[in-house]
Structure 1
């Protein structure tokens, strides 16, 4: 038993196969955009020696401070000593406040996402080429998760990709009194 196969064609569409140059834009299977590593340091409860140790291990190309009030009231490290350390390491310091509170609704989430993307892109695109790491100073541990959620989305029109890394990957563990539960 044979079945009749009907082929329907639209009169305005070409019947021959379309060449690769004429195809509409399609995203690649792999993300080939330039990647920046954002190594986040929660400054609450951080010891000054741990700050210097992590900065030495990460070897960032710049420091982005997102806290509202950029204080360096760390044990064994004050503001002037911190800036001397950054100057010795030849690290540019940029302060741009990002309000990283947990968003309450979708509107606040999209606003946070837009602000975080704008600030990070503005700071990074002016100063760095791809593949470098940026040390991001945050207030607390929960700010890492909020920043990661804000920058995680992959927009095809965004020219670069940001990978948010916690300081745990570089041997930073908070003191036992400052252990956080996520």
Structure 2
């Protein structure tokens, strides 16, 4: 034996809900993360879609159950059913559409009412396009909803997409006190 010991891989299964107003790129973020694809045509989510993605990061193996929650108002009455058991959340807005940022407190309140206080990340999506939201407004929103982090992503280019999902997993580990 050479004196080196390999660290044991620790396995976790996490339910992550991905929330935000319609057309902010929730499905695109999940598809980029899980399949490394980007579909430029918008197809609204009906109710919810559940996607499974496995990933090894450092000495952790994560199995993500990603719940892509429909953003259209007509699904608002059903959303609370999908939040049950969520361990983390990505709250997504579109940097080209200020109203999508303004909707984040409503999503956050809904999340807290039905899933409790769980780790959450504010995701500023579509950074490959011209930003129409002030940086101060984004930072203030992250602070006001007590987001564990703020990550700027582009589902189209893939920029920081993996980072967002890895970060929420690490925040969940912190909450359950796993080193």
Same fold, judged at TM 0.5 (above)? no
- Larger relative contact order (C-alpha < 8 A, sep ≥ 6)? 1
Q: Report the structure, 1 or 2, having the larger strand content.
A: 2
Which structure has the greater CA radius of gyration? 1
TM-score (norm. length: structure 1): 0.31
